[in-house]
Amino acid sequence: DFVRRNPNPTHPRLAFASFLGDIREHQASHDQMEKAREFDPKNPAPWNDLANYYGHFGPVKKSFEYYAKAIELNPREPVYYQNFATTVFLFRKDVREFYQIEEQQVFDKALELYGEAIKLDPDNFELAADVARTYYGIKPTRTVEALAAWEYTLKVATNQIERESVHVNLARIKLNAGRFDEARQHLNAVTNELHTVVKDRLIRNLIEKERKAKATNPPSATDNK
């Protein structure tokens, strides 16, 4: 599931809708959410949950309107911004058509929404990691911004496993940026066996990229003096 339900589904119809969704009675779940929205249109929770539904089952463009309404009704709930950002990033073609913007502007919109979520929930590691991972899908690569996002994620990590997972990502980005020594330092910080496979793969890539870089740019005679 790429989006999150309302964190506090106080309305009984929303709780029932959640149950129906869990047992894959999706249309019935939608109907309960819609009834909750009609009963209390100023409650942002049904708008968010319906937006989640439209993001999964369509029409996707309707989810944009519903997330925006949830945020309008409660601009202090980070989950609404996070859900909206994720949906914007995943459905870029629909976003371009709906808002009449270019792809780079779509990326900017997603990151802006993620930024609002982080302002409201600055110590949330999973949220910070979600934001940082977004940069893998942005082309051309925004290396400086991606590194800043992962550095922030490292700062809010709560345990060694989380910290090592961030070091893996920092190593990957710096490896691709040709910053080999820094990439190696991050990999040296990874010791948990959970990361062994990806660490070994990155080390092989690092060795290969260093070899190619040296072959392309051999040391000059003056370098050896």
In this model, does residue 16 exceed pLDDT 70?
no
In this model, does residue 119 exceed pLDDT 50?
yes
Q: Identify which of 59, 127, 114 has the alpha carbon closest to the alpha carbon of residue 85.
A: 114
Question: pLDDT band for position 20 (50/70/90)?
Answer: low
- Type of residue numbered 20: L
In this model, does residue 120 exceed pLDDT 50?
yes
> pTM, whole model, 2 decimals?
0.86
Cα 220–chain centre separation: 44
Please provide the size of the chain in residues: 225
Supply 166's token pair.
């961030």
- Tens digit of each residue's pLDDT (9 = 90 or more) over 107-116: 999 999 999 9
- Tens digit of each residue's pLDDT (9 = 90 or more) over 142-186: 999 999 999 999 999 999 999 999 999 999 999 999 999 999 999
